[in-house]
Amino acid sequence: MESKQEKSMSIVMVPYLAHGHVSPFYEFAKKLSNKGFHIYFCSTPICLEPIRNNNNHFDNHQIKLIDLQLPSSFHQQLPPHYHSTKNLPHHLMNTLLAAFDASKPAFSDILKTLRPELVIYDGFQPWAAEAARELNIEAVLFITGVQSQKIPKVTECNKEQMDCFFKNSVNGMTPIQRFLKCVTSSSGHMVLIKSSTEIQAKFGKPEDVFGDVVPVGPLVQRPLDHDGDEKIMDWLNKKEASSVVFVSFGSENFLSQEEIEEMAHGLELSNVDFIWVVRFEGEINNVKKTIHEALPQGFLERIQIQGKGLIIDWAPQVKILAHTSSGGFVSHCGWNSTLEAMMYGVPIIAIPLQFDQPLNANLVVDMGVAIEVPARREKKITRQEVAKAIKTVVVEEQGKEVRRRAKEWSENWKKKEDEEFHVAVEKLLQLVQQSKK
């Protein structure tokens, strides 16, 4: 039974300005609103635009979208369409983070107006917890990736990652310093994490700096209808159960030209039906021409004649993974994509590209729901390894156990996700109630 406190409590949520953070924060917001909480979802207009454009958002009147304006002093370098990491030129990443830091006064004004009882913030903005504390509002960190509970060691990082984690300083803080400050600023030593108790047990004990690590479940969205889905779903509906491999590397990860060619040849060699989301860094317009140029000569014509493949530049990922025809997922192993595959029982062909993705790939391989294309660890993809991995997971007898484990995890999660979320909700309620005493 829901308490009166549960029905009246208001929360401001403020994710980092990346789709991989906004998306799980919004799924978390939807689940909290379904429990009776009043949610104010705060981000830049460009980050909120996809939510506003999605008619399903307006089915939930408990969530109010709040525009956070980055300071106008940054607009010449960073116009509003760049107030998100998506399509942001790499050299402006630090500028975006500096502008986000400088939005603390605007965020404080939002808190003064709304007067919520709780702020849920992300791991890159310790200023959000500071702004809340200055107004005597509790603030709790929400971690969107399970690997974040392990502080990376220099020996575990390649040079690119080492520079990012330990050397790339903005406003006097490296990413590691920002993250640790966010952890230690979280009220009640509580840290929420997008994970499950089973994964936490598999992954092991978090670092000592973490207090009470509370899983909120996988927070995987349910399949929704979008404009333009019909062609994709009609194509899938004609395929046999568990016969199609879905290939996607997320919205902010990109294969090199050589890797695109090897992936294309690997898909053909596998002889498995496929849907492949092909994206290019910084590419917004004229995508069709670019795809023709990037793919091997004659590839598009062959797969079209054979009906073996579908090349697209955007996909309703969850809807595809939930479809009965999906039998494998070639993925970079971003945490959101990994959990979506596990929730819908689709085994993973792991090709991690950067940051936490190799660690995520190790985890799901260890859990028995994935195999990894090994050559990518040497910074290359080979068509032979791609074809072998796809055939193993989708078709061959030796992949039977991976397919079985993926289905088993899916069934277990669907039974337990509400229980885990209920525990997290109760802990949040207790935190706020105790603060009022």
Give yes or no: residues 213 and 238 share one domain: no
Q: How far apart are the first and last CA of the chain?
A: 23
The catalytic position among 122, 273, 323, 332 is: 122
Q: What is the pLDDT of residue 242?
A: 97
Residue 360: CATH number of its domain? 3.40.50.2000
Give yes or no: residues 214 and 244 share one domain: no
242: left (phi over 0), alpha (psi -120 to 50) or beta: left
Give yes or no: residues 44 and 189 share one domain: yes
189 is catalytic: no
Q: Which of 219, 251, 280 is the last residue of a domain?
A: 219
Poorest-pLDDT segment among 20-24, 68-72, 173-177, 261-265: 173-177
Residues 6+ away with beta carbon under 8 Å from 279:
249, 251, 254, 313
Q: What is the pLDDT of residue 222?
A: 85
**Rounded Cα–Cα distance for residues 145 and 193 (Å):** 7
- Enter the DSSP assignment of 220: P
**Structural domain range at position 378:** 229-412
Structure confidence at residue 1 as a pLDDT band (50, 70, 90):
very low
**Rounded Cα–Cα distance for residues 151 and 160 (Å):** 16
- Whether residue 424 lies inside any domain: the answer is no
Task: State the DSSP string of 175-187.
Answer: HHHHHHHHHHHSG
Give yes or no: residues 105 and 215 share one domain: yes
Q: What is the pLDDT of residue 379?
A: 67
- Whether residue 430 lies inside any domain: the answer is no
Residue 193's SS3 state is strand
Mean pLDDT throughout 374-384?
77
Mean pLDDT throughout 245-254?
88
- Whether residue 75 lies inside any domain: the answer is yes
Poorest-pLDDT segment among 199-213, 225-239, 409-423: 199-213
The pLDDT tens digits of the residues spanning 296-305 come to 999 999 998 8
Determine what percent of the chain is predicted with pLDDT higher than 70: 87
- Whether residue 433 lies inside any domain: the answer is no
The residues with which 12 forms a beta bridge, in sequence order, are: 40, 119
Mean pLDDT throughout 301-320?
92
Sign of the dihedral defined by the CA atoms of residues 12, 13, 17, 19, in that order: negative
Across the chain, what does the average pLDDT equal? 88
The total domain count for the chain is: 2
Q: Which of 157-171, 334-348, 377-391 has the highest mean pLDDT?
A: 334-348
**Rounded Cα–Cα distance for residues 70 and 292 (Å):** 38
Sign of the dihedral defined by the CA atoms of residues 176, 181, 182, 187, in that order: positive
The pLDDT tens digits of the residues spanning 162-195 come to 556 556 889 999 988 999 999 999 999 999 999 9
Q: What is the pLDDT of residue 288?
A: 47
Give yes or no: residues 190 and 282 share one domain: no
- Whether residue 97 lies inside any domain: the answer is yes
Q: Which helix (H) or strand (E) holds 67?
A: strand 63-67
Mean pLDDT throughout 113-129?
97
Q: What is the pLDDT of residue 66?
A: 97
Determine what percent of the chain is predicted with pLDDT higher than 90: 67
**Rounded Cα–Cα distance for residues 364 and 360 (Å):** 6
Give yes or no: residues 90 and 150 share one domain: yes
**Rounded Cα–Cα distance for residues 433 and 119 (Å):** 14
The pLDDT tens digits of the residues spanning 8-54 come to 799 999 999 999 999 999 999 999 999 999 999 999 999 999 999 87
- Whether residue 361 lies inside any domain: the answer is yes
Give yes or no: residues 268 and 186 share one domain: no
- Whether residue 418 lies inside any domain: the answer is no
Give yes or no: residues 215 and 263 share one domain: no
Q: What is the pLDDT of residue 156?
A: 52
Q: Using the predicted structure, report yes or no on whether residue 200 has a pLDDT greater than 90.
A: no
Give yes or no: residues 198 and 241 share one domain: no
Give yes or no: residues 291 and 153 share one domain: no
Q: Using the predicted structure, report yes or no on whether residue 286 has a pLDDT greater than 50.
A: no
Q: Using the predicted structure, report yes or no on whether residue 371 has a pLDDT greater than 90.
A: yes
Q: Which of 219, 242, 262 is the last residue of a domain?
A: 219
Structure confidence at residue 234 as a pLDDT band (50, 70, 90):
very high
- Enter the DSSP assignment of 164: I
- Whether residue 437 lies inside any domain: the answer is no
Q: What is the pLDDT of residue 269?
A: 96
Residue, of 224 and 296, whose pLDDT is higher: 296
**3-class SS letters over 3-55:** CHHHHHCEEEEECCCCHHHHHHHHHHHHHHHHCCCEEEEEECHHHHHHHHCCH
Q: What is the pLDDT of residue 3?
A: 43
Q: Using the predicted structure, report yes or no on whether residue 83 has a pLDDT greater than 70.
A: yes
φ/ψ of residue 392, rounded to 5: -60, -50
Give yes or no: residues 41 and 176 share one domain: yes
From the CB of residue 134, how many other CB atoms can be counted at a distance below 10 Å?
12
The catalytic position among 19, 21, 38, 265 is: 21
Give yes or no: residues 343 and 385 share one domain: yes
Residues 6+ away with beta carbon under 8 Å from 289:
none
226 is catalytic: no
